[in-house]
């Protein structure tokens, strides 16, 4: 085959394939061509090679994606499997596969399971969007069809890829010619500094592996990402440790704020694990100088000491074993309060103003060997168990999957440098005489704390929030704020000699790993969007967690031929000020979209207002909140009404259980009345899917929890299940039969917890029939398995003679 010529702008020409065959090194190519000429040829060469990956369209809306696909279908004759990939319009770095098959447009959410590892639905988790799409081009694997042609735009972003095309920058870096690297970086034709080579490395990864210090320095100064992962899940710091290039470690940390705690998403190894595995003593020493933990734990609990020993690196074993922790600057009496309990810890921190990073340590009630770190972040209090474990005959302290430390002081000192999984680093403590003490750090390393903030690791908080982490229900008085004398729903909460052509993948794979990260993240459905122009907004009807709720109209387009229908809707507005909560708002919308039941408020869609605020549109429920109705219309409510609503709520909850969903906020304020004959469950802001192999959802993040409606296992362990929803149902029944009284009166959340722990329960409301109160008490059984199911509750409220009136009404419910 004839080589193709490339004509440059001046009419001079060179063999394009001289550049691409990589027989010539960059310096030789530069003898006959200007750098800009070479870069332009390189750019065209990359475009040519990336032609098959130009399926990425950036951030476009769903309807725009469908329009593009429709045009593609006209061009390609209704080609089944025509597709494109786009960024989700609702959450950045989340992607959607838009696909045409057999007359239908499908939109599949692409989930980022862990850094740059993606999956669709229950399909396999694959490193890189590029490899994910390639897999689905080969096989349908559960999609309606395998992917065939695509609508052309551009290749996927660098950081979400497994590999790319080796460019001139990669080659100049591999040839270690800083002058040329500098010129390339200054050229307007410079490729992306974070582009990946065909070996899945960025230029910085290569510079680090080969130890090209000047080049690494230049790359960092020109925006190279110091914490990005290569195809083996290694950061540039890991690469230094694979290539034994201790000198660059300082450059990465000092110039680039590289994070010594960054975990390899495939194994949980941090850089010092890599150095210990390879037996590179200098790297270990310098990492320790930069406050790397010396006994961090990988996903399978392996420490660098275990690796050094297994791979027989005696000098490294000695170094780690004999490593002397720098003298601690912090002392136990600065923060340890052995006498204080949970509540006391909370109170003391509140008294000291809940400032960011304020903390104390107390004893654990669960285990006499354990402690609890009580820490303020974002004006809330979080508690983390400091557990102990016997490791090599030593008593070690640790938090969650964090490093081992021989003593508490060292652990505290470590977390004052690195947040590493905690919401923030420790900065100020309360000492035994209740004064504030600034945790001293030597200034040289102060930046490291910043690093932890800027590049957070994927470690989750150690524990679910304990009740004292949370705002105990709503207001100071622990009751929802009052309006119209009613309790409204309140806001909750890589050869030592560098090759001249592309190098083979470096021998750096860690040994097989025993434990993988969980990949059971539930796929997210794409949200149904509606056109803003079809909506009109009316008066405010309530205040929700994210903003106001207004009544409105929606011009619903008919599915067939008929006329446009104007329907009443309730529109939940998402205020810009609540921007941090956007994901929660969208979560609520996604949950609602999956539900369809006569006893559950129907989701219509999501729209964007003219000033880009989000709106959640749902069916309008005319009589509003059941709680308000109970309070305002007590005299019009018959027992039979209450029985019917109870049966309907249990029926809706039965459906929710079939959908493997827990509500987590079942309360009278969250039941809406469409009519006196129809109650509907609403407010799915706290709702979560339970795993396919478990029957509970484990909460790992804080928020505002309605403690008074929660079962003990929710409060104590963050375990939410259908049985804990049943407990809340019991409290809801109590609210109904007491016509909207606040449960537990003026008691504070913490008092309620104690009250329940003592075996006490809410008293029978006045005039409440014994048969109904008996059901409530069953719902409040300490043992989740001994509580009735929603099915049993639904049956109960229809089958007993007392409830004869509900049966006919229940028959009218379709599902």
How far apart are alpha carbons 477 and 462 in whole angstroms? 30
Min. distance of Cβ 163 from ligand AMP in angstroms? 46
Please identify, using beta-carbon distances, which residue of 544 and 706 lies nearer to ligand AMP: 544
Scanning 211-219, 404-412, 465-473, 615-623 for contacts with ligand AMP by CB under 6 A, the matching segment is: 615-623
- CB nearer to ligand AMP: give 624 or 703: 624
Pick the piece of the chain touching ligand AMP (CB under 6 A) from 201-209, 212-220, 536-544, 769-777: 536-544
Which range touches ligand AMP (CB under 6 A), out of 107-115, 244-252, 430-438, 540-548? 540-548
542 binds ligand AMP (CB under 6 A): yes
Q: Which stretch of DSSP H or E encloses residue 689?
A: strand 688-689
Read out DSSP for 463-520? SPPPGGGSEESSSTTSSPPEETTEE---------SPPSSPPPPPS-PPPP-S-PPP--
Q: Does 570 bind ligand AMP (CB under 6 A)?
A: yes
- Interface positions, 469-488, toward ligand AMP (CB under 6 A): 488
Active-site residue flag, 665: yes
C-alpha 232/C-alpha 211 separation (Å) is: 18
Q: Which of 42, 618, 713, 725 binds ligand AMP (CB under 6 A)?
A: 618
Smallest distance from ligand AMP to CB 611, Å = 21
Q: Which residues contact 563 (CB under 8 A, 6 or more apart)?
A: none
Identify any residues that bridge with 150 across adjacent strands, giving them in sequence order: 83
Spatial separation of the C-alpha atoms in residues 455 and 445, rounded to whole Å = 16
By CB under 6 A, what part of segment 3-22 binds ligand AMP? none
Q: Which one, 535 or 601, has the nearer CB to ligand AMP?
A: 601
CB 608 within 8 A of CB 599: no
From the list 469, 471, 665, 725, the catalytic residue is 665
Is there binding between residue 620 and ligand AMP (CB under 6 A)? Answer: yes
Q: Which residue is nearest to ligand AMP (CB)?
A: 542
> Given the complex with ligand AMP, which of 483 and 782 has the nearer CB atom?
483
Q: Return d(Cα 317, Cα 312) in angstroms, integer.
A: 8
Task: Establish if 663 lies at the interface with ligand AMP (CB under 6 A).
Answer: no
573 is an interface residue for ligand AMP by CB under 6 A: no
Nearer to ligand AMP, 408 or 601 (CB): 601
Q: How many CB atoms lie within 10 A of CB 314?
A: 10
CB atoms within 10 A of CB 328: 17
Q: Three-state DSSP class for 762?
A: coil
Helix, strand, coil % in the chain, rounded to nearest 5: 35, 20, 45
Q: How far is the CB of 549 from ligand AMP (least distance, A)?
A: 4
Structural contact between residues 469 and 615, judged by C-beta atoms closer than 8 angstroms: no
Under 8 Å between Cβ of 265 and 117: yes
Using CB under 6 A as the binding rule, whether residue 541 contacts ligand AMP is answered as yes
Using the rule CB under 6 A, is 57 a contact of ligand AMP? no
Under the criterion CB under 6 A, does residue 682 sit at the interface with ligand AMP? yes
Toward ligand AMP, which CB reaches closer, 128 or 652? Answer: 652
The SS3 of residue 571 is strand
Residue from 175, 319, 471, 545 binding ligand AMP (CB under 6 A):
545
Instruction: Give whichever of 198 and 598 is closer to ligand AMP, judged by the CB atom.
Output: 598
Select 230 or 619, whichever has its Cβ closest to ligand AMP. 619
- Print the SS3 string covering 259-312: CCCCCCCCCCCCHHHHHHHHCCHHHHHHHHHCCCCCCCCCCCCCCHHHHHHHCC
Radius of gyration of the chain (CA): 31
Q: Is 530 in the site for ligand AMP (CB under 6 A)?
A: no
Residue 621 engages ligand AMP in binding (rule: CB under 6 A): yes
- Tell whether residue 402 is a contact of ligand AMP (CB under 6 A): no
DSSP 48-88: HHTGGGTTEEEE--HHHHHHHHHHHHHHHTS-TT-EEEEE-
In the complex, the smallest distance separating the C-beta of residue 469 from ligand AMP, rounded to whole angstroms, is 23
Kindly state whether residue 492 participates in binding ligand AMP, applying the rule CB under 6 A. no
H/E run at residue 212: none
* From 45-53, 55-63, 347-355, 616-624, span contacting ligand AMP (CB under 6 A): 616-624
- Whether residue 314 contacts residue 292, with contact meaning beta carbons closer than 8 Å, is answered with no
- State which residue, 284 or 492, has the beta carbon closest to ligand AMP: 492
For position 681 contacting ligand AMP by CB under 6 A, the verdict is no
Task: State yes or no: residue 599 binds ligand AMP (CB under 6 A).
Answer: no
Q: Are strands 704-705 and 482-483 parallel, antiparallel or unpaired?
A: unpaired
If binding is defined by CB under 6 A, does position 703 make contact with ligand AMP? no
Q: Which residues are catalytic?
A: 665
Where along the sequence are the contacts to ligand AMP (CB under 6 A)?
488-489, 541-545, 549, 570, 572, 601, 618-621, 624-625, 672, 682-683
């Amino acid at each position: 085959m004839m080589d193709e010529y490339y004509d440059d702008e001046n009419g001079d020409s060179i063999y394009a394939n001289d550049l691409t065959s990589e027989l010539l090194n960059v310096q030789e190519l530069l003898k006959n061509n200007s750098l800009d000429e070479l870069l332009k040829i390189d750019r065209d060469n990359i475009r040519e090679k990336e032609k098959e990956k130009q399926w990425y369209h950036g951030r476009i809306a769903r309807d725009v994606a469908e329009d593009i696909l429709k045009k593609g279908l006209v061009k390609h004759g209704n080609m089944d499997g025509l597709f494109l990939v786009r960024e989700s319009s609702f959450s950045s770095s989340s992607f959607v596969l838009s696909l045409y098959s057999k007359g239908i447009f499908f939109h599949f959410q692409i989930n980022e399971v862990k850094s740059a590892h993606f999956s669709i639905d229950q399909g396999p988790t694959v490193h890189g969007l590029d490899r994910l799409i390639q897999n689905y081009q080969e096989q349908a694997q559960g999609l309606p069809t395998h992917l065939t042609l695509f609508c052309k735009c551009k290749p996927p972003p660098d950081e979400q890829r497994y590999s790319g095309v080796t460019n001139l920058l990669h080659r100049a870096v591999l040839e270690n010619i800083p002058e040329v690297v500098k010129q390339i970086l200054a050229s307007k034709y410079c490729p992306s500094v974070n582009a990946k080579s065909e070996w899945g490395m960025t230029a910085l990864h290569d510079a680090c592996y080969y130890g090209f210090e000047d080049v690494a320095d230049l790359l960092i100064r020109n925006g190279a990402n110091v914490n990005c992962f290569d195809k083996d899940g290694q950061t540039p710091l890991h690469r230094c440790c694979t290539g034994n290039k201790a000198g660059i470690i300082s450059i990465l940390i000092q110039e680039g704020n590289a994070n010594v705690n960054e975990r390899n998403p495939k194994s949980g190894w941090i850089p010092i694990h890599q150095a210990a595995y390879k037996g590179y003593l200098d790297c270990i020493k310098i990492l320790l100088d930069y406050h790397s933990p010396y006994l961090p734990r990988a996903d399978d609990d392996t420490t660098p000491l275990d690796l050094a020993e297994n791979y027989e690196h005696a000098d490294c074993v000695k170094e780690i074993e004999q490593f002397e922790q720098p003298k601690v600057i912090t002392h136990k009496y600065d923060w340890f309060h052995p006498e204080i309990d949970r509540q006391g810890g909370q109170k003391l921190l509140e008294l000291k103003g809940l400032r960011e990073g304020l903390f104390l340590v107390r004893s654990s009630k669960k285990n006499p060997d354990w402690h609890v770190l009580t820490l303020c972040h974002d004006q809330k209090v979080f508690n983390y168990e400091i557990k102990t474990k016997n490791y090599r005959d030593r008593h070690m302290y640790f938090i969650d999957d964090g490093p081992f430390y021989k003593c508490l002081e060292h652990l505290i000192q470590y977390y004052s440098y690195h947040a590493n999984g905690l919401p923030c680093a420790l900065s100020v403590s309360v000492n035994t005489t209740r004064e504030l003490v600034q945790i001293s750090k030597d200034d040289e390393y102060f930046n490291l704390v910043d690093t932890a903030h800027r590049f957070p690791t994927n470690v989750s908080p150690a524990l679910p929030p304990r009740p004292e982490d949370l705002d105990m229900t709503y207001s100071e008085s622990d009751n929802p704020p009052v309006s119209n004398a009613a309790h409204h729903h309140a806001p909750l909460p890589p050869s030592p000699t560098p090759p001249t052509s592309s190098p083979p993948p470096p021998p750096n794979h860690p040994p097989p790993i025993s434990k993988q990260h969980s990949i059971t993240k539930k796929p997210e459905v794409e949200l149904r969007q509606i056109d803003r122009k079809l909506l009109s907004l009316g008066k405010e009807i309530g205040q929700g967690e994210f903003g106001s709720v207004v009544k409105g109209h929606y011009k619903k387009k008919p599915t067939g031929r008929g006329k446009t229908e104007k329907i009443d809707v309730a529109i939940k507005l998402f205020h810009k000020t609540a921007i941090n909560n956007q994901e929660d708002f969208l979560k609520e919308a996604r949950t609602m979209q999956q539900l369809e039941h006569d006893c559950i408020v129907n989701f219509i869609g999501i729209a964007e207002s003219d000033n880009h605020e989000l709106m959640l549109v749902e069916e309008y429920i005319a009589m509003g909140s059941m709680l308000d109705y109970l309070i305002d219309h007590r005299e019009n409510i018959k027992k039979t009404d209450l029985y019917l609503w109870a049966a309907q709520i249990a029926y809706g909850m039965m459906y929710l259980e079939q959908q493997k969903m827990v509500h987590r906020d079942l309360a009278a304020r969250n039941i809406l009345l469409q009519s006196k004959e129809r109650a509907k469950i609403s407010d799915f802001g706290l709702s979560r899917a339970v795993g396919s192999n478990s029957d509970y959802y484990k909460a790992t993040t804080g928020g505002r929890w309605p403690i008074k409606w929660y079962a003990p296992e929710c409060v104590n362990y963050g375990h939410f299940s259908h049985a804990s929803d049943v407990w809340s149902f019991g409290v809801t029944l109590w609210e109904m039969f007491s016509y909207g009284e606040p449960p537990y009166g003026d008691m504070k959340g913490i008092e309620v917890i104690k009250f329940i722990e003592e075996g006490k329960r809410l008293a029978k409301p006045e005039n409440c029939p014994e048969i109904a109160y008996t059901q409530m008490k069953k719902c409040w059984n300490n043992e989740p398995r001994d509580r009735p199911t929603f099915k049993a509750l639904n049956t109960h409220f229809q089958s007993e003679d007392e409830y004869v009136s509900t049966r006919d009404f229940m028959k009218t419910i379709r599902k």
